[in-house]
Structure 1
Amino acid sequence: MLTLSDHRVKQAQWCPSPNHNDRPDPDDISLLVIHNISLPPGQFGGPYIEDLFSNRLDPQRDPYFREIHQLTVSSHFLIRRDGLLMQFVDCDKRAWHAGVSAFEGRENCNDYAIGIELEGTDQLPFECAQYRTLVALTALLQRHYPAITNDRITGHEHIAPGRKTDPGPAFQWGSYFQSLAAFKENLA
């Protein structure tokens, strides 16, 4: 059972990112955005996502890193392929994950969203362990931030259409929401 204290998940591996700032309204946390990431693209398990979010990605390690090593980005959470949960930014702070974005006509999703990265790609299936961790994390966040209702859970592709494609067609939205409902029913 995951627990949240002082805007951090106790069971998450804490990996602080400098890439965050204050939200305009720290009480306005009302959106959950699901992403995917792999560095280098299509490769899993290395330290490079943490390096990117910590501004220490070595551009000499991979040709792709030369294109992205100067980005200042972050997410609140990362779920590794084995289900390991990592946290980079406190939930009450604004992580830099959504970029130019809008949800239901409201721009700047970073202002009011929590970002969750799944280690993966648009086309490869995500692991069962990732879905289990995502479901438990979602349920926890919904308990702590009640404005994050199921209709306020979305993909990066939905808030930045034409610019972003993640979590992509491999993400099983229906199964995710069914598992979330069953998980919350078991908690009741």
Structure 2
Amino acid sequence: MEFTELHNPNFEDRSRPVNGIIIHSMSEYINGMFANDFLADIGLSAHFLVGVDGAMYKCVDPDKKAYHAGLSEWGGQKYLNSSYVGIEILVEGDNDWSDFKKKIEDPATFKAEQYSSCIKLITWLKTEFPEITNENIVRHSEVSGPAVRPNDPKPDPGVGFNMIRVREAIKTPT
């Protein structure tokens, strides 16, 4: 798999084996900073970014724990950073929170190239980490939504992101 290598210093050793993937979305730029630089600046990280043009960036080795999910829960596991890989789908532009939330509701925000790269990346990760099950390939909003974070539910990747398309491509039940 070919990636552009970026560096994010916010990671540590994993305490559990990789068994899932969380799909996120975030603005390509925030206050003029590229997504990975912004995350690094605020103490967060993702393993991979998928650019607007479908380019794939590796920011943290997936063997390591990145800080992407925070308070999260799925399938009886809590604090999923320890066992899940985080993929950020980038939303074009330099967006404030209000603009970002509107954009992730619009299916036109997410490009064919992004879906293609996301599906390739997930397929590769499933080969690298055979303990990843299709049921554990989820949206951030599914694992850090209102049931888990009633005061700060995560909306990403947003209803505009066609998770059914991704699940069908990797043969995941919806």
What's the TM-score once normalised by structure 2's chain length?
0.81
Residue 123 of structure 1 deviates from its aligned partner by: 1.5
Deviations 1:5-41 (A, max 9, x none): xxxxxx111111011111113xx10010000000556
Aligned pair partner of 2:130 in 126, 146, 149: 146
Structure 1 unaligned regions, length at least 5: 3-10, 56-70, 182-188
Deviations 1:47-102 (A, max 9, x none): 521221332xxxxxxxxxxxxxxx21000000011000001100110000001111
Q: Which of 1 and 2 has greater Rg?
A: 1
Task: Give the structure 2 partner of residue 95 of structure 1.
Answer: 66
Aligned pair partner of 2:106 in 118, 121, 124: 124
Task: Give the structure 1 partner of residue 26 of structure 2.
Answer: 37
Residue 122 of structure 1 deviates from its aligned partner by: 2.0
Task: Give the structure 2 partner of residue 114 of structure 1.
Answer: 85
The residue correspondences of 1:5-24 to structure 2 (distance < 5 A) are 11-24=2-15
1:81 aligns with 2:52: yes
CA distance in 2, matches of 1:53, 1:164: 16
CA distance in 1, matches of 2:59, 2:39: 8
Task: Give the structure 1 partner of residue 169 of structure 2.
Answer: 179
Residue 142 of structure 1 deviates from its aligned partner by: 0.5
The one-letter amino acid of 1:83's match is G
**Identical pairs, percent:** 30
Task: Give the structure 2 partner of residue 133 of structure 1.
Answer: 117
Residue 146 of structure 1 deviates from its aligned partner by: 1.2
Q: Does the CA contact (< 8 Å) of 2:134 and 2:170 recur in 1?
A: no
Between Structure 1 and Structure 2, how many residues are aligned? Answer: 152
- RMSD of aligned residue pairs (Cα, Å): 1.7
Task: Give the structure 2 partner of residue 52 of structure 1.
Answer: 38
The structure with the largest strand share of the pair is: 2
The one-letter amino acid of 1:19's match is N
Residue 149 of structure 1 deviates from its aligned partner by: 1.6
Deviations 1:103-144 (A, max 9, x none): 112111000000000012421321000000011101100111
